Structure 1
Amino acid sequence: MTTRTGGDVVVETLEALGAHTVFGIPGQHALGLFDALNRSDLRYVGSRTEVNAAFAADGHARVTGQVTPLLVSTGPGALQTLAGLQESAAASAPVLGISSQIPSQGLGGVRGGYLHELTDQLGSFRDVVKHARVVRSASQIPSALTEAWEVAASAPHGPVWVEIPQDVLLGPAGIPVVGEITATPRPLPPRQELVAEAARLLDGAKRPVILAGGGVGRCGAHAELLELAEKLRAPVVTTFGGKGCFPWEHPLSAQSWLEDWHTTEFLADADVLLVLGSGLGELSSNYRTFRPRGAVIHVEADLGKLESNYPALGIHADAGLFLEAITAATTRREPDGQAEESVRTLLVAVAERLTEQELDLEQEVLAAVRSAVPDGTPTYWDMTILAYWAWSAWDPRGGVQFSAQGAGGLGYGLPAALGAAAAVDGPVLAVSGDGGAMYGIPELATARQHNSRVTWLIIDDGGYGILREYMTDAFGRATATELARPDFVALAEAFGVPATRSTLESLREDLAKALAGDGPHVVVLPAVLRMFAPTHLENH
């Protein structure tokens, strides 16, 4: 075809908005969109299932901080992205989903019988994404995509969804080539009277503590957080989603042991707790056992999460803009060593409790992985026991740690890492259990096709290991957790991906060698790991 189509308008708009890489899978109704990719400079990375394409777009969006397009087809293809978009919503990843639709004359069930038809496809997405819209003509495409892009990029970041009928994608463009577009995210500064009240509370605090969540990392406010913590002499605990936004070994770093009751008590004992960019949900509150005894200042960009779990001075704002304002408004304290001593006491107590539980194997495995991974390497973790350890214990060391703990779906690790590999100049690590790995097997073909520099570590314990623990603890036995699985090494090699069967003794060396390679590699470690005991405040 030489005539410009609605599909061309889509790719022209994405290029004008600043997109460089798109993810997805073609389908019958979306052919006009994918054909237009051939006439654009956009890089296309195709997955093997739509849910994995959504995970890949999520992984790319998180590591770049940029809106990332996801292109899929109607009906089953669109619906398969929902689990990935739910994770993006939970983790505030700015993914721009663009789906085809049945021809315009059939929308809303006016004329039934179309392949892949859903009476209200958009309705399936409204409760998952931040924003959803159906485009009815090619002339609407630039404005609709610009609107969606701005919504995705505005705090709180998150996924958005745009649907375009098949006939619009295939039909004539009808408008000139899309030129320059400026998409401006809506700023979310704090109100000044709230900043003044927060400053009054913090200046009057004897034991201030900061809980830094993913919102700090997403707005890139690492330096601002460090400046405020040092100015107030306030210890910093990071949530699992906030890992990497504060130096792990800093004297004020109380790290991320949120599932340990010592940390829960440490947070509760603060006379002023400043919560930045976290909803204080189930995981960050140690499964609702957190009971603050002092004042709480809650800074959150998602209005629905603001003060939804605990009474607080609620401040609806972008964490970075708040940090700039509060740092200017507070008084610098002279170091007296008390905050640093409280952090040392906390971390010693955490270490002693782990020692009592005889968890040397688990800590050695995580230490071996950490030792093998070059500093600055992005890591992507599936829902598996080693990932649960990493939430608390992993030192990002200049890299970033991403996991599926927002929505908690299986299969995130490998496809998300492949999405990151499309943007990162260097290795990327993915970690899965054998149960979660089975969700990602098709993406070994993607890894090989794009020669993605992803090392995939699979911890093979013969089943759904964490569910095995949960059920055994609750019922005295586990049901439906034991799994037949393939020889992962042989299977990877069948895809043309090098693979290594590792041991506890050789894990560090095997991983380091794989990460140093120039393409994909699978490392399989047969091991049964245990979680540390989920001891909470009410048990003490």
Structure 2
Amino acid sequence: MTHDHDLELLPTPAQTEAALTPPAGRNGGDLVVETLHGLGASTVFGLPGQHALGMFDALRRSDLRYVGLRVENNAGFAADAYGRVTGEVAPLLLSTGPGALMSLAALQEAAAASAPVLAIGSQIPVAGLGGGRHGYLHELRDQQASFRDVVKSVHTVRTQSQIPSAIAAAWESALTAPHGPVWVEIPQDVLLAETTLPVVTAMDATPRDLVPRPELTAVAADLLSRAERPVIIAGGGVVRSDASGKLLALAEKLSAPVVTTFGGKGAFPWEHPLSLQSWMEDRHTTDLLEDADVLLVVGSGLGELSSNYHTFAPRGRVIQIEADAGKLESNHPALGIHADARLALSALVETVTERVDPSAPERVAALLTAVRERLDGQDLAFERQILNSVREALPAASPSFWDMTILAYWAWSAWPGALHSAQGAGGLGYGFPAALGAAAADPSKPVLAVSGDGGAMYSIAELATAKQYDLPVTWLIVDDGGYGILREYMTDAFGEATATELSRPDFVALAESFGVPAVRTSPETLRDDLAKSLAEPGPSVVVLPALLKMFAPTHLG
């Protein structure tokens, strides 16, 4: 008996003819780009190197669009952003040894932020693998080992026939909840050798659903339905799984206030009557969360930033929905539900009992009033003005990407709605190359990048990338003469700062030397100058000389 799925496995006459007469002039690199195309990729990021030239030569024969950056770490940040904004796998092509290792900080951020980056690196020739030291250029004793602690999965290739399957397995891994970066490595000679294998056609690498166990969602639904003061913490997992609609439905059905973590910004409407917004470093928020008799944590491991620096001590019952099994109950005892946020929230929406609590919006309003009064009691009008000017200048549909800088620390708490930052791993240099990746994904609208002068120096070379591809990114550089947040930390801790003051270039003249328009602005003209730059096509730079302060920490109680 022949089943329907058996018939699907049989090649058509046209497929058979094409398989038997593959085009000449192909190499192992062609199998890489053909597989990526067959899996649905349209754009790849990267930087060529000697061992990887087979892949890059194959791009010439491919429909894939290539966006090349100047530093591998920045190429990784661009791929990370592409994955975040599209939800699709972002291929990243790298060379062996130094080129590969330069990407590690970006892949760490992708892992922390659950961004689906597919890094494909070359290797030394097959004859040099296996633990010896053969003296090949770029050789490492064990290249995989450098990536194994960072990425979700490692996939190795030793023959051309393994290339499609390895890349498809990595693709599926990157898109399986929780999303994340993966690593594939292919030896130089495998990439360069001529191939007679058929052209790779469409491939299926559909990720498996991470479905919650029904007995656990039944218990969670019962706890939430009977709760007197339920509260929800929404993390980045809600955003990554496109579960904002389900979260809103559940919160309204339960009359449960919602606070979003810094990574979860945009998961819940900022001005909703149940929105506690994102003041995770405010003791008023921490107190309200601790007072909840049932706390639902969705898509967050309640790490350092999401727990007010581990001072958060819940007194009620905690329910934690998390796709990363390693984060379940890693910081607090809970009813742990290992599941994709969207699927788990969908189950809860269907099974909780509706509860009406008119006092919930009142508690939310009281908390936000307390936060405002605390800020009003500090000398922070200047910082709030700067952030408001940036917000008013940015079109509503435009994404923003923030480096680890004081203005970004403000934005984590005070920016209304979604933003993207490097707060997962916390490395410098994310904002501008990430914005380039987002602009490559959708060049129809401007993208904002925000950096300090210290972080900006990590990414200056990518002004050439922005110009070469004419990407609509406006880069706001807040120039305070050094590593501003570290200056504050050291001054608070030791009375004075060391190694934080920096000599820096004339950023306006430097940008213009790349052919990128630039302007030096002031706090009074920031909104207009930024809006004008964002409205112009192509890349631009806005430099704001300003010394910003952080709001006083409240995690000390």
- Shorter-chain TM-score: what band? over 0.9
1:358 aligns with 2:379: yes
Identity of aligned residues (%): 71
How far apart are the structure 2 equivalents of 1:20 and 1:263? 43
Normalised TM-score (structure 2):
0.95
Once the two structures are superposed, residues 290-326 of structure 1 have per-residue CA deviations (whole angstroms, 9 ceiling, x without a partner) of 0101000000000000110000001100000001000
How far apart are the structure 2 equivalents of 1:337 and 1:374? 35
Partner of 2:350: 328
Partner of 2:548: 529
SS in 1 for 2:327: coil
Which of 364, 368, 378 aligns to 1:347? It is 368
Partner of 1:389: 410
How far apart are the structure 2 equivalents of 1:84 and 1:108? 28
Shift of 1:415: 0.3
SS in 2 for 1:332: coil
How far apart are the structure 2 equivalents of 1:107 and 1:99? 15
Which of 96, 99, 103 aligns to 1:77? It is 99
Which of 520, 529, 534 aligns to 1:515? It is 534
Q: Is the 8 A contact 1:139 1:173 kept in 2?
A: no
Which 4+ residue blocks in structure 1 deviate beyond 3 angstroms?
Answer: none
How far apart are the structure 1 equivalents of 2:132 and 2:378? 63
How far apart are the structure 2 equivalents of 1:427 and 1:225? 29
1:406 aligns with 2:424: yes
Q: Is the 8 A contact 1:139 1:174 kept in 2?
A: no
Partner of 1:452: 471
SS in 1 for 2:207: coil
Shift of 1:180: 1.5
Matches within 5 A, 1:374-523: 374-396=395-417, 400-424=418-442, 425-523=444-542
Shift of 1:172: 2.1
Shift of 1:196: 0.6
Shift of 1:134: 1.6
1:89 aligns with 2:107: no
How far apart are the structure 2 equivalents of 1:173 and 1:533? 63
Q: Is the 8 A contact 1:212 1:236 kept in 2?
A: yes
Shift of 1:2: 4.7
Once the two structures are superposed, residues 389-441 of structure 1 have per-residue CA deviations (whole angstroms, 9 ceiling, x without a partner) of 00001012xxx310000000000000000000001220100000000000010
Amino acid paired to 1:128: V
Matches within 5 A, 1:137-156: 137-156=159-178
Once the two structures are superposed, residues 188-236 of structure 1 have per-residue CA deviations (whole angstroms, 9 ceiling, x without a partner) of 1110000010011001101100000000010111111110010000000
Partner of 1:287: 309
Shift of 1:532: 0.6
Shift of 1:110: 3.5
Q: Is the 8 A contact 2:133 2:141 kept in 1?
A: no
Partner of 1:233: 255
How far apart are the structure 2 equivalents of 1:281 and 1:255? 18
Shift of 1:186: 1.5
How far apart are the structure 2 equivalents of 1:295 and 1:342? 20
SS in 1 for 2:306: coil
Shift of 1:377: 1.0
How far apart are the structure 2 equivalents of 1:125 and 1:103? 19
Shift of 1:4: 1.2
Once the two structures are superposed, residues 5-52 of structure 1 have per-residue CA deviations (whole angstroms, 9 ceiling, x without a partner) of 110000000000000000000000011100000000000000001011
Which of 144, 152, 167 aligns to 1:122? It is 144
How far apart are the structure 1 equivalents of 2:321 and 2:518? 45
Partner of 1:165: 187
SS in 1 for 2:183: strand
Normalised TM-score (structure 1):
0.98
Unaligned runs of 5+ in 2: 1-22
How far apart are the structure 2 equivalents of 1:111 and 1:500? 52
Aligned residues: 534
SS in 2 for 1:242: coil
Amino acid paired to 1:127: D
Amino acid paired to 1:74: T
Once the two structures are superposed, residues 347-372 of structure 1 have per-residue CA deviations (whole angstroms, 9 ceiling, x without a partner) of 00001111111100000000000000
How far apart are the structure 2 equivalents of 1:42 and 1:401? 28
Q: Is the 8 A contact 1:105 1:111 kept in 2?
A: no
Amino acid paired to 1:518: P
Partner of 1:314: 336
How far apart are the structure 1 equivalents of 2:133 and 2:37? 35
Which of 156, 173, 178 aligns to 1:134? It is 156
Once the two structures are superposed, residues 54-95 of structure 1 have per-residue CA deviations (whole angstroms, 9 ceiling, x without a partner) of 111111111111110000100000000000000000111000
Partner of 2:6: none
SS in 1 for 2:168: helix
Amino acid paired to 2:395: P
Once the two structures are superposed, residues 418-467 of structure 1 have per-residue CA deviations (whole angstroms, 9 ceiling, x without a partner) of 00000122010000000000001000000000000000000000000000
